[in-house]
Amino acid sequence: MWRIASYLVIAAGLILLTGSWVDGEDMEYRDLTPEEEYVIVHGGTESPFTGEYVDTFEDGVYVCRRCGAPLFMSETKFSAHCGWPAFDLAIEDAVEARPDRDGARTEILCASCGGHLGHVFTGEGFTERDTRHCVNSVSMDFIPADRIGTVFFAGGCFWGVENAFERTSGVLEARSGYMGGTTDDPSYSEVCSGATGHTETVKVVYDASAIEFRELAMIFFEIHDPTQLNRQGVDMGTQYRSEVFYTTDEQLTILEELVGTLRNRGYEVVTELTPAGDFWSAEEYHQNYFDKNGIGTSCHTRVHRFEQE
């Protein structure tokens, strides 16, 4: 109830928050070559069997060449022998489909920037999913698996945490969910009861060549108050605790260093550092909550605690 009241106040504009949440909030699209512009902006098609990703099958993720949003995981790519990269499944909410101008096909676009990707076909029988996303190579960039990192941040309401990291350059995915408890696949109401042991958590997948983990961790410690125990502002309970679920020893080392820095500066940090376990995605209405509901400000405003670094 507290949370609903606080967000109604924010949505009504009765609380004014200033400053950018995170660096990269007003991220610009990358410059396009004439060929890329022809395809991505004007809906053109590259010649068959000429794209760089027609026959590539390395582990990794394919992202939009214009805005960098993740589109397809490598494990969904298959050989369709059609002359263009083919995928039988897009990343959830990453791709939009609409009738093509030719009246016969279904066009697919990047859901983040509206850039043209190609077309989607069904009923061809290539895979069990019976779907072929036929994509122009010039519409995508490929990030190999050894450049991709994952970490899980819990810092109060996951709506604000997710929104902050979604706006961070170098982040490939930010997804709200639950972690740290004992109940499999918990519901929001179960987590809010405090009985499951889970905390509201955001899965952050990032391109380690575009943003260092240290910077992500600094953002985390600066968009919430790491000195509040089992609460964050008006949201109270263990489900709102401050915790980082790390996936590598290097991440742990950096986190311990940053916690030490904050404590040396007088902050009584209570953030828990825990090896990552099972992550359960939250219900769909929680994903991209701020954008879906037109909320333009957040309780997760950035306070520069490391500005002397």
What are the beta bridge partners of residue 107?
Answer: 98, 119
Q: Do residues 277 and 153 both lie within one domain? A: yes
pLDDT at 154 over 80: yes
Provide the CATH number for the domain around residue 127: 2.170.150.20
Position 86 confidence tier, pLDDT thresholds 50, 70, 90: very high
In a domain, 297, yes or no: no
Positions of E strands within 21-138: 60-64, 70-73, 77-78, 86-87, 95-99, 106-110, 116-122, 131-135
Would you say residue 20 has pLDDT above 70? no
Beta-bridged to residue 152, according to DSSP, are 203, 245
In a domain? residue 95: yes
What's the mean pLDDT when you consider all of the chain?
A: 88
Q: What is the pLDDT of residue 297?
A: 63
180-206 residue pLDDT tens: 999 999 999 999 999 999 999 999 999
CB atoms closer than 10 angstroms to residue 1: 6
Its domain, for residue 100, covers 34-135
Residues 112 and 206 in one domain: no
Judge if 94 and 219 occupy the same domain.
no
Distance CA 66, CA 27 (A): 11
**pLDDT, tens digit, for every residue of 266-303?**
999 999 999 999 999 998 888 887 777 777 666 788 88
CA nearest 262: which of 304, 216, 211? 304
Nearest to 243 by CA among 262, 263, 269: 269
Per-residue pLDDT at 28 exceeds 70: no
Q: Please check the confidence at residue 19 and state whether its pLDDT lies above 50.
A: no
pLDDT tens readout for residues 65-74: 999 889 999 9
Q: Catalytic amino acids?
A: 134, 157
* pLDDT at residue 17 greater than cutoff 60: no
User: What pTM was computed for the model?
Assistant: 0.78
pLDDT for 288 equals: 80
114-146 pLDDT per residue, tens: 999 999 999 999 999 999 999 999 999 999 999
Is 102 inside a domain boundary? yes
Nearest-angstrom CA–CA distance, 225 and 269: 9
Residue 6 confidence (pLDDT) above 60: no
- Same domain? 165 vs 19: yes
Domain end, chosen from 135, 160, 192, is at 135
CB 64 within 8 A of CB 71: yes
One domain for residues 197 and 257: yes
Higher per-residue confidence, 294 vs 156:
156
pLDDT higher than 70, residue 26: no
